[in-house]
Amino acid sequence: MKILVINGPNINMLGIREKNIYGAGTYEDLLDFCRNAAEELGVEVSFFQSNHEGDLVDAIQHAYKVIDGIVINPAAYTHTSVAILDALKAVSIPAVEVHISDVSKREDFRQISYVRQYCFKTITGMGFEGYKEAMKALLSEISNGAEKQ
Ligand code: DQA
């Protein structure tokens, strides 16, 4: 099973940005964490990060017929991007929304999520661990789907 982990703007600044909110781990640490989790779960993982909305849309489109499941933290674009939602709908790949912080306890403008309308699960406030939980959720969702066929 092939999982693509997509991260949006400023996630490359982990370890530097607002450590009180996002922790001290860097983006590289996040990738290492996900690689280890993927090995433990027996899935193949690849990564994409961009600060640009259109590049995130392109990455989702390129996943069509190549990737089985998407873990997506659209970061600030969570709260603004219809284009990312539409891209997920277009490729129709099972996806889980992840946020490192607990967005439900933050500003009003973070209470809207466009991708939530598509993603079958949302995980917030678990730090890096949320990405592993998302991979687990994809594994069970996809294997359940396969059983039903
Ligand atoms: C975030 C939460 C967003 O509101 C914020 O814009 C981010 C990161 C998170 O992982 O907690 O950049 O998606």
Q: pLDDT band at residue 145, thresholds of 50, 70 and 90?
A: confident
Residue 99 annotated as catalytic: yes
On the question of pLDDT at 137 being above 60, the answer is yes
Residue 5 has pLDDT above 60, yes or no: yes
- Check pocket membership of 49 for ligand 1, CB cut-off 6 A: no
Tens digits of residue pLDDT in 70-108: 999 999 999 999 999 999 999 999 999 999 999 999 999
The pLDDT of residue 149 is 57
Q: How far is the CA of 75 from the centre of ligand 1 (A)?
A: 4
Is the C-beta atom of 51 inside 6 A of ligand 1?
Answer: no
Segments making up each domain of the chain, as ranges: 2-148
Identify each DSSP E strand in 10-51 by its residue range.
44-49
Task: Identify the active-site residue in 77, 99, 114, 131.
Answer: 99
pLDDT in tens, 19-69: 999 999 999 999 999 999 999 999 999 999 999 999 999 999 999 999 999
- State which fold the 2-148 domain adopts: Rossmann fold (3.40.50)
| Phi, psi for residue 102 in degrees, rounded to 5 | -90, 90
**pLDDT above 90 for 146:** no
